[in-house]
Structure formats: C-alpha cells, structure tokens
Amino acid sequence: MTTSRPRSEQLYAEALQHIVGGVNSPSRSFKAVGGGAPVFMKRAQGAYFYDVDDNRYIDYLCAYGPIITGHAHPHITAAITRAAESGVLYGTPTELEITLAKKLKSAIPSLDKVRFVNSGTEAVMTTIRVARAYTKRNKIIKFAGCYHGHSDLVLVAAGSGPSTLGIPDSAGIPTSIASEVITVPFNDLDGLKQALERWGDDVAAVMVEPIVGNFGMVMPKPGFLEGLCAMAREAGALVIYDEVITGFRFHYGTSQTFGAFPDHAAIEPDLTALGKIIGGGLPIGAYGGRKDVMEQVAPLGPAYQAGTMAGNPASISSGIACLEVLEQPGVYERMDLLAAKLADAIKDSADRHGVPLTVNRIRGSFSTHFCAHPITNYDEAQDTDGKAFAQFFRLMLEQGICLAPSKYEAWFLTTAHAEADIDLTIEAADNALRQLAR
Ligand code: PMP
C-alpha cells in the first residue's frame, strides 16, 4: 500500500496563507522529516486515522499522548455529548470537578489538593509560581531535554518540539528570565549536586519528568529520583514532577506510585503537574500537591492563578469517562503486551537488516532511536541519525502507519489497537528498515 495525498497538499498550501506555518502547533509540521505538507486528517475512530484523501492510518501519534482509549471511544463520546447538551461552560463550580479531583487523589497519594487548568503548560507554569511563592526563592532547576510546555521559564534546553525544530532555547525570552533557570543533564546526580551547591539558597524547585517522554522514553537510573528528592529537600527546594505525559500512561496512576518498577521507590513530590490523558482528549491540565504548598494559591493564598475555561464541564466529563475506562482490569496489561510485541519485532528487524536502532520501551509506549548507543540523557538522544528517522517516518506513513514527525517523540499504544494492527505495523516496519539498509 502507498498513500497519495493531493488534498492534504492543497489544504497545506491554503493553510500557509492563513495560519502561521500552516499548523497550530509547530510539532505538527513536517519540517524535521524533510518538509512538505503534513497529513490533514478528517476523522479518527479507534486506532485509526482517516485523512482528507481517504487514506487510513494506524495511529501511534495518539495526539502526543492524550488518546489512550483510541479515538471516539463510545463511553467518552457519550460523556462529552451529555456535557454539551447540559451547557458547556458555566463559570461556576460543578460537582463534576469534585468527582475528577477525587479520582486523581485516589490514584496519586501526594495530591492533598488540586486545581484544574486548561493545558499542561498552564499546570507546569503554575507549579513554578506556587513553588516560588512558598519558598520565597526564584530559581528553578530543570533537566536538559525535558519539555514542560511553552511558558517562558521552561523553554530553556527544552526537548520535544523545540529540539525537533532546532530551537531548544526559544527567542523572545528575556535573559533576566532565562537566568533564573539552571539546566542539568538528566540522570546526573553529580550535576544536580553541583548546581545546588552553587545556587541552592535561591532554588525554589527542582522540576523533572520522572520518566522522560520528550527525548524518547527514558527511565531514570535506579536511585536518580531518590537522590534528586533528597538533595532538593536538603537545599530547601520543592520537588515538582511533571507527569503531563506519564500520568495514567503506564498504569492507573503516575510514576510516583509506580509499583511496576521494582528498582524504583515511590518517591512523592511536593507538587505534580498533570494534563493530556486526564482530559480524555479535551483540553485540560491540573496541578496539585501538599496542602500547605497548595494553600499558597488564591483565593486562600497570595499566588494568583485563574481561568475562564478552567474545570469546564466538557473537559472534566471527558476526563472522568476516560479514567473510568482505564480503571477496568487488564487494560494496561493488554497495551503492555502489544507494545512489547511491536517494539521487540522492530528491534529484531533492525538487527536483521543491520540498521543501528535503540528501542526504549516503557510498558505501553516506546521510542525508536537510530543509533547504536543506549539513550539515557538528552545528549545521547540528540546524537542519533535524524535523516534515518525521517526516511523511516516517511516509509511508514506511505504504508499507512502514523508516527510523530520527530525523532524525539514516542509511539503510544491505546486500548483500541488490536493484534492485527500490530502485525501490520511489524510488517511495515520490516519493509521500511529493509529499504533503509540499502
Ligand atoms: N509537560 C510535558 C511533560 C509535556 O509532554 C507537555 C506536552 N507535550 C507539556 C508539559 C505541555 O502540555 P500542553 O501541550 O498541554 O500545554
């Protein structure tokens, strides 16, 4: 099968006239995979996308993470429809918000109190503000290649989209702000120690993706999170876990309650940022944590954060319904098995065809890096063959397999992927890797 996409090309030409770069999020552009028109989708159902030229694709992009139950899941669609019929926005509190807050709290013990916002960006941005208000300090330590949304403070050494497009340090951020951020390599406790020795008295928080999802899927080394939390606390700084990708991705909870990894103790942060899956595909973010820290937030405390759309009934209903699907027994185990089958087969194909490939799988998601070395930090993830990835991406797309157009992004499984989809994908990857080897 090869896909042809004349209508996508037409629409892209038209979009370029009206929408900057033709896309509403730069990570959707095909700039890093050889340029040209991205695929314009028309419809999505279960594990499949259908484009405007009526090609079908098996979806592993999954909207960069939120779509974990497949597209248009009937339970979520029904909840959104009910919400729409009851009026989509009130500007008043609703009982639904309490339901979702209680669900999050029961799955994530470190959340004494939460607040809903509209995106992961807002959630992270606010955790930083709250940490600064609580500690009365200014600086933030982050890890190179972690992506925490597009607020000013965290667009320094940012992975994901910014790295894909070659702009990990965004323009438009005053040096006075960038100088408040200290960047340390992921998995490097010595680097963190040095940063804390130098700036510790003014560090409000150490922020981390506890399992990285933005320069591939990367596990913390055993002891890394434990060391990070201990050192941060000794320096009087708070610990912020950005679980926008990892929240409910690997199991029903977050990586801080991750019993599935025997090497990793469950270390609780002071604040957690959430997004993506907890909205079931509608816009959402949430942040929460220790009661005394969260009580910094208005109307209780002096740190201001607000939102016209925050906690809107449609997003909250969608999120509750999504978590109800994920609560069912066996859901995560099935995704893990399918991901393992797929990831192992891709690695086998690459070995057979002599293509250097590192596959980092964490339960139901994985990343593919065209290199021979392991990927444990951002430098290693950068030092991979972007041209080989671009070629692989295109060869997969032509065979109806949709990946993210970036060598840094992960493949996501959903509850909708079937064994037959995995088999088709294995065959397509084998073809692609055979051609790459030539
Ligand atoms: N934090 C992490 C870990 C993310 O992966 C993302 C988005 N990819 C964000 C924050 C920002 O979330 P949003 O795009 O919803 O603003």
- pLDDT tens-digit map of 289-325: 999 999 999 999 999 999 999 999 999 999 999 999 9
Q: Whose CA is nearest to atom 7 of ligand 1?
A: 149
The answer to whether 41 and 56 are in contact (CB under 8 A) is no
Name the residue of 160, 244, 367, 408 to mutate for ligand 1: max ligand atoms within 8 A of Cβ.
Answer: 244
How far is 71 from 328, CA to CA, in rounded Å? 18
**Which residues belong to CATH 3.40.640.10 in the chain?**
74-326
| DSSP label at residue 386 | H
* Residue 254 neighbours by CB under 8 Å, 6+ apart: 107, 108, 210, 241, 243, 246, 247, 248, 272, 274
Instruction: Give 415 Cα–ligand 1 centroid separation in angstroms.
Output: 22
Instruction: Name the nearest CA neighbour of 426 among 399, 406, 404, 408.
Output: 399
Tell me, what's the pLDDT at 2? 66
ipTM: 0.99
Third-level CATH fold of 74-326: Aspartate Aminotransferase; domain 2 (3.40.640)
Active site residues: 147, 242, 276
Share of the chain above pLDDT 90, in %: 89
How far is 57 from 8, CA to CA, in rounded Å? 14
* Alpha helix ranges (H) inside 26-73: none
pLDDT value at 156 more than 80:
yes
Instruction: Give 124 Cα–ligand 1 centroid separation in angstroms.
Output: 8
Instruction: Give 254 Cα–ligand 1 centroid separation in angstroms.
Output: 15
Q: Give CA angle at 91 (90, 93), nearest 5°.
A: 90
CA distances from 164 to 119, 125, 173 (A): 21, 22, 19
**Which residues belong to CATH 3.90.1150.10 in the chain?**
6-72+329-427
Over residues 275-288, mean pLDDT: 98
Instruction: Give 156 Cα–ligand 1 centroid separation in angstroms.
Output: 14
Instruction: Give 150 Cα–ligand 1 centroid separation in angstroms.
Output: 8
Q: Whose CA is nearest to atom 5 of ligand 1?
A: 245
Q: How many residues does the chain have?
A: 438
From the candidate CATH numbers 3.90.1170.50, 3.40.50.970, 3.90.1150.10, 3.90.226.10, the one assigned to the domain spanning 6-72+329-427: 3.90.1150.10
Residue 171: strand, helix, or coil: coil
Per-residue pLDDT tens for 25-51?
Answer: 999 999 999 999 999 999 999 999 999
Name the residue of 124, 165, 240 to mutate for ligand 1: max ligand atoms within 8 A of Cβ.
Answer: 124
Please tell me the pTM assigned to this model.
0.97
pLDDT value at 360 more than 60:
yes
Identify the residues whose C-beta falls under 6 Å from ligand 1: 64, 119-121, 124, 147-149, 160, 209, 213-214, 242, 244-245, 275
Residue 243 Cα: closest atom of ligand 1: 3
How far is 337 from 331, CA to CA, in rounded Å? 10
